[in-house]
Amino acid sequence: MQTAVFYFSGTGNTWWCAQKLRELFHAAGRDCTTVSIEQIDGEDVRQLVQDSDTIGIGYPIYGSDLPETMKKFIESLFPEQKGDSKKLFVFCTQLLFSGDGAFVYRKELARKGWDIYWSAHFRMPNNICVTEMPFPYTTDRKKIDRRLRKTARKIEVFSQAVLSEQAVITGASKCSHSLGLLQRGPYRRMFPKLRNDITIDANLCTRCGRCVAICPSGNLYEDGDGIHTRGICILCVRCYNYCPVQAVLYMGKRHKARRGVPYRGPVPEYKPELTARKS
């Protein structure tokens, strides 16, 4: 049996869940390939799907909605399935709740011939550290590890359901859909305006180019005058969290030093270059 998991991860949370799933599948004797959708093209996607029996899709949830990169992946690169030979699972990572986060794109997937057999929501540490939205977050290793242990147990239960082919669906009820809409409606209305809220403080920027290299949407670019934006941000906060000198501003506001460094992944070994597109 072969499983392929396609995921998008802004700051490492979804990457971590995908790796946990791969470890559990391997321990059970099932081959599993996990791949960032930023690092694979359409032909390779089709080949990997063709060679696999079970397909997984994973992403962080933004306002009970999919990241734009995952939407484009499903619409443009994810192949159609003719017949019912392959089964699909979907998982999303979230801070508290998303309602129907793992089920949001059910209709779009169904149009391509895919039914969701398993879905799950995995709570992860908060990665939103921007000053404009002062949600509490932590970089305390003990607190992060405590959250990861709880999520790891849930991932293990989910993997067992997939391996035993016992259907487990989260986010499909009318209540879940209603809760999702409460967030998704306002988020989708505001999203176009939010796409140009990242700027660079030229007085702090060292022109290292990391933000340009790791941006998943191509929103950031460098010219002779510095680093600028195109207004196509997808709100993953990768550039904000991983700027070495915290020169990235959100809504014109600097990161407050008193809050500590921004969240930089669930484990120290994660770096955004692990999942970002190759230059």
pLDDT band at 5 (very low <50, low <70, confident <90, very high): very high
3-state helix, strand, coil in the chain (%, to 5): 40, 20, 40
Alpha-carbon dihedral of residues 184, 189, 192, 194, nearest 10 degrees? -70
36: left (phi over 0), alpha (psi -120 to 50) or beta: beta
Domain-by-domain residue ranges, the chain? Answer: 2-183, 195-274
Determine the CATH number of domain 2-183: 3.40.50.360
The answer to whether the CB of 265 falls within 8 A of the CB of 11 is yes
- What pLDDT score was predicted for residue 69? 97
Per-residue pLDDT of 169-197, as tens digits, reads: 999 999 999 999 999 999 999 999 999 99
The answer to whether the CB of 102 falls within 8 A of the CB of 170 is yes
pLDDT band at 21 (very low <50, low <70, confident <90, very high): very high
- What pLDDT score was predicted for residue 152? 98
Amino acid at 53: D
- What pLDDT score was predicted for residue 96? 85
For residue 37, pLDDT over 80 is answered with yes
- What pLDDT score was predicted for residue 82? 82
Determine the CATH number of domain 195-274: 3.30.70.20
- What pLDDT score was predicted for residue 89? 98
C-alpha–C-alpha distance, residues 252 and 260, integer Å: 19
Global pTM value: 0.96
Per-residue pLDDT of 221-260, as tens digits, reads: 999 889 999 999 999 999 999 999 999 999 999 999 898 9
Per-residue pLDDT of 98-138, as tens digits, reads: 999 999 999 999 999 999 999 999 999 999 999 988 788 99
For residue 279, pLDDT over 80 is answered with no
